[in-house]
A and B are shown apart, each in its own frame.
Chain A
Amino acid sequence: MAIMGTFAFEEDFLAAAKNLTSSGFDNISLLSPLPLEEAQEVLGLGKSPVRHYSLAGAIFGAISGFAMAVATSLVFILPTGGRAIITIPPFLIITYEMTILFGVLFTLVGFHFISGLPAWSDRPYLSSASVDKFVVVVEGADGEQAARAETIIRDAGADEVRHVEDGQ
């Protein structure tokens, strides 16, 4: 069972979220039509681990870019005017581009892992959350817990409270 509370105002929505977390509800989702820093703070979301993916991608790209350029010059030896076979300055450009390419690609992968997307299965959602409503969703609450969650949401000033089956 999931309980969804719809709010028209940010401060009511945030109050409901704070009260729910302080009452021990930990399986809550806060839906909003735009990013709200306060909502992220309520859930204790600090620095995102996506940055580790970016760093890992950049390091991987740098090493593989440089290695590819060096390996190419060693396999296909092309002497030019007595210059070194492994020429660092041009290879740094390839390294630079590959650093960025893999940094971006790993960040993308990190985003998907951390956010849990794509998630095309039905989950509790209201389409007005992409327009102008704020929605608090408490999932996995049954019986007495559900009643307590509903009271907290109503007390915070919800316009509407709905009970939906999990996965609806």
Chain B
Amino acid sequence: MFDHGQPSYADVNKDIISTMLETGPKYWTLLGITVSVAGICFFMPWFYQLIVGVGAAGMNRNAVWGSYLSNFIFWIGLSHSGTLLSAVLHITNSPWRKAIYRSAEAMTLFSLMTAAMFVMVHLGRVWFVHWSFPIPNQMGLWPNFRSPLMFDVMAITTYLTASSIFIYMGSVPDFAAVRDASTGLRRRLYTIFSFGWRGTAREWHTLGWAYTFFAVFVIPLAVSVHSIVSWDFALSAVPGFHHTIFAPYFVTGAIYSGTAGIVTVMYCLRKFLNFERYIGQVHLDSLGKLLITLSLIWTYINILELFSTWYGGTSFELEALSFKLTGFYAPLYWEMLLFCAFVPLLMLFKKIRWSWNKMLVISILINIGMLTERFIIVATSQPRKFLPGAFGYYVPSWIEFSITVGSFAIFATLFLIFIKWVPAISLYEVKETLRPLRRDA
């Protein structure tokens, strides 16, 4: 599991906590860039849109949903591997989870936050967002719980809450370790964060049970979240949206893009925080195998979607299918297939699977493909529904492109802040994979 020899317990504390306590100019420069890009590319265009209205985006009468929603699905999808993978691997007691799960869970949290930002941007009048929550008010407004959009509000709120608790509770023993390694204000803060944790057998015992229950709750929750996102589309009668396969299609796609996202994040952690000692070939190899499996399932579901549309034979569905395969957006469709169905097959070769650089490129290509997939779902269906009078085209405006770029900067900013406040690798779980401190070990 350890490519560069097994570290001692003290090394684990020192290596991981030092990445939080020591901050060089490289970090501040990077943070400055991401904050600036987030401000210029995301918040400034958004404020412009708030002033002039959602007409600033490229959405029109034929396509009332655009890139904001495809970005929303993409970020929700990216969030899926972190907590879900961590919970599944915790329940199945997989040792390779221990070095990577903390950052993967953080990815979940920050992807969800970024996704939530897109809901705000898409809404237009963001100051009315609280109307979608069941909050008593003098206007007698109340959410309609038969609407898939309300399922979404409930599911995502629950997912954000559960994921935050899951990552926080798993970090409590490590907060105590940071407290013990620091002084002054930082020590006082981590005393509060760690709840006064001492690592007694009773505390470990209770945390172990609670953590397992969190994992048990989170697994079906994660599956439900993306299924529900898919029903935002599938419960409508729009050709291209109305597929029963959509729930597993979205869940598989979400786990697929999330796992690819983990590879990208792990590459950065190794490179910039010098975690080569902890994140090694075994992690890359396991993630690679998982990606191949997910790629094959994803491809199978895509074939199924095409087949069921053709076999159904409805003229509206056939028109939407033909538009997707050969119409205006067809190059994007074939690009998606190339990046998500064919390129990942390269990982069948061990030589590729064991190369960090090649895996980085593949993981980025997969996520470009998955972002495209979400765009295709939104952009090719609505402007092609039923009667030719409703046919049209949708091309994102520069505001939408800018906000899309800015969303990646928001995610990166949140992640950069995270690595300075929370140990990016779980100290105590890595220690569990080391030789025990026994005389005979």
Interface residues of A (CB under 8 A from B): 8-12, 29-36, 39-40, 42-43, 45, 47-48, 50-51, 54, 58, 68-69, 72-73, 75-76, 78, 80, 87, 90-91, 93-94, 96-98, 100-101, 103-105, 107-108, 110-112, 114-121, 123, 125, 127, 129-132, 134
Contact = CB atoms under 8 A, between A and B. Distances in A.
B204 A35 contact: yes
B204 A100 contact: no
Contacts of A73: 145-146
B224 A31 contact: no
Contacts of A134: 437
B201 interface: yes
B196 A100 contact: no
Contacts of A104: 158, 161-162, 165, 214, 217-218
Contact of B206 (A78, A96, A101, A115): A115
B143 interface: yes
Contacts of A80: 146
B206 A48 contact: yes
A114 B201 CA distance: 12
Interface in B129-156: 134, 142-146, 150-151, 154-155
Interface stretch (B6-14, B114-122, B260-268, B275-283): B6-14
A132 B8 contact: yes
Contacts of B173: 130
Given A45-B202, A132-B9, 16 more contacts: A10-B438, A29-B198, A29-B201, A32-B199, A35-B207, A40-B201, A40-B202, A51-B213, A68-B134, A68-B145, A72-B134, A101-B161, A103-B217, A116-B202, A130-B199, A131-B10
Contacts of A75: 142
Given A100-B221, A108-B169, A108-B210, A117 B145 contact: no
Contacts of B161: 101, 104-105
Nearest to B439: A9
A70 B13 CA distance: 52
A50 B206 contact: yes
A123 to B, nearest CB: 7
B201 A30 contact: yes
Contact of B10 (A101, A120, A132): A132
A57 to B, nearest CB: 9
A118 B195 contact: yes
Contacts of A76: 142, 144
Contacts, number: 190
A161 B440 CA distance: 24
B194 to A, nearest CB: 9
Contacts of A58: 217
Contacts of B107: none
Interface in B148-204: 150-151, 154-155, 157-158, 161-162, 165, 169, 172-173, 176-177, 180-181, 191-192, 195-204
Given A68-B134, A131-B177, A93 B151 contact: yes
A123 B195 CA distance: 13
Contact of A130 (B13, B202, B204, B440): B13
B312 interface: no
A90 B151 contact: yes
A94 B195 contact: no
A40 B202 CA distance: 7
A121 B208 contact: no
A65 B330 CA distance: 43
Contacts of B154: 93-94, 97-98
Contact of A110 (B10, B181, B210, B224): B210
B432 interface: yes
B37 interface: no
B145 A34 contact: no
B95 interface: no
B133 to A, nearest CB: 12
22 contacts: A9-B439, A11-B439, A12-B439, A35-B204, A39-B204, A42-B201, A48-B209, A51-B209, A80-B146, A94-B145, A100-B224, A101-B162, A103-B217, A104-B165, A107-B214, A107-B217, A112-B195, A114-B202, A114-B206, A115-B206, A118-B192, A120-B195
Contacts of B220: 96, 100
B41 to A, nearest CB: 33
A126 B313 CA distance: 72
B201 to A, nearest CB: 4
A123 B428 contact: no
Nearest to A109: B210
Given A100-B217, A117-B195, A33 B209 contact: no
B205 interface: yes
